[in-house]
Amino acid sequence: MQLALIVSFLLAGGACLLFFFSFEKRKPAVKDILPVVVMVAAASAGRVIFNFLPQIQPVTAIVIIMGIYCGKQTGFLTGALCALVSNLFLGQGPWTPFQMLAWGLVGMLAAVLAKVPPFRKTWAVCVYGFLASFLYGAITDLWTVMSMGESLSWPLILTAYAAAIPFNLLHGVGNIAFLLLLYRPLGNKLKRIQEKFGVLAC
């Protein structure tokens, strides 16, 4: 009986759909969505380009930057869309809703933390980026864990998550590198279009 898998699948997908519903309800202006489109396109292209390196991709870094500069909603939207679109290139699977939720939450949490000014310092963002890889891993590995059905138990969950640690570490190191490279330059560009065009204010 793989009920746990179906339920977790529906929960993750449902959470993303719920967010999309609330986003559509606000009737977003074209001006507010196009910068997000550009960033998602850049991040997804980056993920496809870096696909030859395991776990190393710029998506998490860009999602965090969008969360910090453009707020909770845009952070979640960027994360969810990055997963959806890059998987259209790399292949959809049962992991898609989990990745959408995980990246969305990473972006959302970044926006919440950014409310506290010291968090906006580069080193603090890098620390968050490193830890975010574990949050992302914990959510995306859920479908692997849930597919074990009746064997689901604490030792199994611990084993699965322990096995994922090296991958999460790689992902975290990649995040730090991309954040060091992109955080300030990209942030300044986002600030500039926010001031110049009056869009995406959080």
Partner 1 sequence: MRNPISEFHPLAVFLYFMTAVGITILWNQPVFLAMSFGIAFGYASALEKGRNILRSLVWLLPVVLLPVIVNPLVNHRGNTPLLYVNDQPITMEAILYGLFTGVMIAAMLFWFQAYSKSLDSDGFLYLFGKRFPSIALMVTMIFRFVPQFHKSLQEIAAVQKTLGVSTSQGTLKQRLQAGGMLLSALISITLEDSLQTADSMNSRGYGLPGKTRAKKIRFTLRDGLLFGAALGELLFFLLLWGMGKTDFYYFPALTSTGWTPEVIVFFAVTCIYFLIPIFIMIGEEIKWLFLKSKISRLPIPKHKSQP
Burial of 86 (0-12, 13-18, 19+ CB in 10 A): buried
Report if residue 126 touches partner 1, rule: CB under 8 A.
no
Query: Smallest distance, Å, CB 28 to partner 1?
Result: 5
Asked if 201 and 194 touch (Cβ cutoff 8 Å), the reply is: yes
Q: Which two tokens stand for residue 39?
A: 């960033």
Structure tokens at 140: 């995306």
- CA angle (117 as vertex; 196, 58 as ends), nearest 5: 70
Binding mask 129-168 for partner 1 (x = CB under 8 A): ------------------xxxxx-x-xx--xx--------
Which of 52, 91, 116, 117 lies at the binding interface for partner 1 (CB under 8 A)?
91
Stretch touching partner 1 by CB under 8 A, among 37-45, 106-114, 118-126, 165-173: 37-45
Does residue number 81 form part of the binding site for partner 1 (CB under 8 A)? yes
State both tokens at 147. 């597919």
12 binds partner 1 (CB under 8 A): no
Shortest distance, position 83 Cβ to partner 1, whole Å: 12
Q: How far apart (Å, rounded) are the C-alpha atoms in residues 189 and 202?
A: 15
From the CB of residue 27, how many other CB atoms can be counted at a distance below 10 Å?
6
Residues that bind partner 1 (CB under 8 A): 1-3, 5-6, 20-21, 23-24, 27-31, 33-38, 40-42, 44-45, 81, 84-85, 88, 91-94, 147-151, 153, 155-156, 159-160, 181, 185-186, 189-190, 193, 197, 199
